Chains A and B, each alone.
Chain A
């Protein structure tokens, strides 16, 4: 395991409500520079809400979210993205009637006035040669796996410090899932910290440094990937082991 850097994202005692529904009940976790951290949990455990609070799409009713030591939980999403957090949303959410190139341009929207578009484009095309080949094709005509590549490429256009991925393996064939996780590892090796929400626990822990397990809006387990893999609760609940 690499030596982790300083704390990048610090989430302290976050509560959220959807109307009268109490979704997150005091969630705390941290992500250090250079890490891959997995957030695991079943349906309705509050995983996606957790990510939305980081991105400013859901406001915590209590608690704080800090990025590089600065509180960000009251900022607009555009401001949070500008500071270096980029999302790969659940279900990919590429813009279907826009070309690949236009999708990538939207990924860089918050930095549209800054130079460096060509370099970032080349970097993303280097990672995903397929996107370069088909850059004028409408995103809606791509296959699920290709759309996932585009969604990741789009997020990388801002050169984020922290990449937040919500279920990148969802709906993909096993071979593609492996490919996506290889890419996640490669992006991490180039220096991007990664926060990944997954249902595919085995896969997620195979690339992660650490993980958190969320249940009913609370963190019930935390530890290194190895510890979690060996934990009997995880084995039983997610890996089908004894």
Chain B
């Protein structure tokens, strides 16, 4: 393989990974945009989502030893899997907001954030108790097709993840930019008091935001399971932290920023892993974060529109 081929290969790998980080980063950025809360329970919602996916697949008769699917069976299984998992994690997010965070909404300082860390530990330990400490195999329902592009190859898995990610992001973008509810979300993010005066039910907007963010995290969970082929109670931390970094890199609160940051981190991980070695991945990612924070404290796409009084 020539250097160029290696580069192309790693860009392809990085884009599929980047989609996963982007989906996860969107949940961080949306919740922050609305209530200025860094929601660390998001890490664990993502982790829990992989187990939800396992259960959903098992209910459909797909287990770790099943063969990969093709044709209609594959498409229908994927659609059910994504819908069921995303709905479940979405509801989990809503539950966390209603039970743990709503009563703390007006508490100043770090109490709500610390609470999200507590919720994260509850979920981690719940999954540990239910599934045990060992890694679980995640069914590989996508066939192992691959195509050559030069000397590099693109796998079917990567194409599916990339396309599903793109579809979800376009759907989110449509919802936020074009629908009245999405506009109410943006209005609340920009000025919650004024939104309330317009008669927008801010509590409902917050619930919707948690639902959407957690549903996207659920999609991210499936990306993780399908891509890596395993899951465990401990997987939320590393992936979640990288996704959080994506959101901050892109400019926390900015939806396009989260997508850009996610893809950036995905590419950094695959290219950096190739050039310097996998053990350096996190060093590279967090060094880049520091560099961006020094030169662009608001992130790549954060707060660029002037706000005249």
A residues sitting closer than 8 Å to B (CB atoms) are 55, 57, 76-82, 87, 89, 91, 93-98, 102, 105-107, 109-110, 112, 138, 140-144, 147, 154, 171
Closest chain B CB from A97 CB (angstroms): 5
Partner of B197, one of A57, A82, A112, A142: A57
CB < 8 Å neighbour of A96 from B198, B199, B200, B307: B307
Judge whether B194 and A110 touch: CB under 8 Å.
no
Q: Show 15 A/B contacts (Cβ-Cβ < 8 Å), sorted by A.
A: A57-B193, A76-B201, A78-B199, A78-B201, A82-B199, A89-B197, A93-B197, A95-B187, A95-B195, A97-B186, A98-B183, A102-B187, A105-B180, A141-B305, A144-B309
B309 and A89 form a contact (CB under 8 A): no
Chain A residues whose C-beta falls within 8 Å of the C-beta of B306 in the assembled complex: 140-141
Once the chains bind, are B196 and A95 in contact (CB under 8 Å)?
no
Q: Which residues of A sit under 8 angstroms from B198, Cβ to Cβ?
A: 81, 106-107, 109-110, 154
Knowing that A95-B187, A96-B190, A109-B184 touch, tell me 18 more A-B residue pairs with CB under 8 angstroms.
A55-B197, A79-B199, A89-B197, A91-B309, A93-B197, A95-B186, A95-B191, A96-B308, A97-B186, A98-B186, A102-B183, A102-B186, A106-B195, A107-B198, A109-B199, A110-B198, A141-B306, A142-B308
A106 touches which of B184, B193, B201, B305 (Cβ 8 Å) = B184
The 7 A-B residue pairs whose C-beta atoms are closest, nearest first, are A81-B199, A110-B199, A78-B199, A93-B194, A96-B307, A95-B190, A87-B197
Q: Which single residue of chain B is at the shortest CB-CB distance from A99?
A: B183
User: How close is A213's CB to chain B, nearest CB, in angstroms?
Assistant: 25
Of chain B, the residue at the smallest CB distance from A111 is B199
B194 with A109: CB separation less than 8 A: no
Check if A105 sits within 8 Å of B183, measured CB to CB. Answer: yes
Complex Cα distance, B195 from A102, in Å, reads: 12
Chain B residue nearest in CB terms to A171: B309
Q: How far is the CA of A89 from the CA of B191 in the complex (A)?
A: 12
Q: What is the distance, in angstroms, from B148's C-beta to the closest C-beta of chain A?
A: 45
Residue in A80, A89, A141 whose CB lies within 8 Å of B308: A141
Report Cα–Cα, A98/B194, bound state, in Å. Answer: 13
Partner of A97, one of B190, B194, B199: B190
For B184, list chain A residues within 8 Å (CB).
106, 109
A137 CB, nearest partner CB in chain B, Å: 11
User: Is there contact, CB below 8 Å, between A95 and B194?
Assistant: yes
A51 shortest CB reach to chain B, Å: 10
Residues from chain A with a CB closer than 8 A to the CB of B183 are: 98, 102, 105-106
A171 and B308 alpha carbons, distance in the complex (Å): 12
Interface string of B171-185 (1 = CB under 8 A from A): 000000000100110
Distance (whole angstroms) from the CB of B187 to the closest CB of chain A: 5
When chains A and B are docked, how far (Å) is the Cα of A140 from the Cα of B197?
Answer: 19
CB of B199 within 8 A of CB of A77, answer yes
Q: Contacts A57-B196, A105-B183, A109-B198; is A97 near B305 (CB within 8 Å)? A: yes
Give A96 to B195 CA distance when docked, in angstroms: 12
Separation of A122 and B101 alpha carbons in the complex (Å): 42
| Closest B residue, CB atoms, query A138 | B305
Task: Mark contacts of B253-284 with chain A using CB atoms, 8 A cut-off: 1 yes-contact digit, 0 otherwise.
Answer: 00000000000000000000000000000000
Shortest Cβ gap from B304 to chain A (Å): 10
Tell me, rounded to whole Å, the shortest Cβ–Cβ distance linking B298 to chain A.
14
- Chain B residue nearest in CB terms to A108: B198
A73 to B195, CA, bound (A): 19
**B195 contact set on A, CB distance < 8 A:** 95, 106
Instruction: Determine whether the beta carbon of A144 is less than 8 Å from that of B308.
Output: yes
Could you say which residues of chain B place their CB within 8 Å of the CB of A147?
Answer: 308
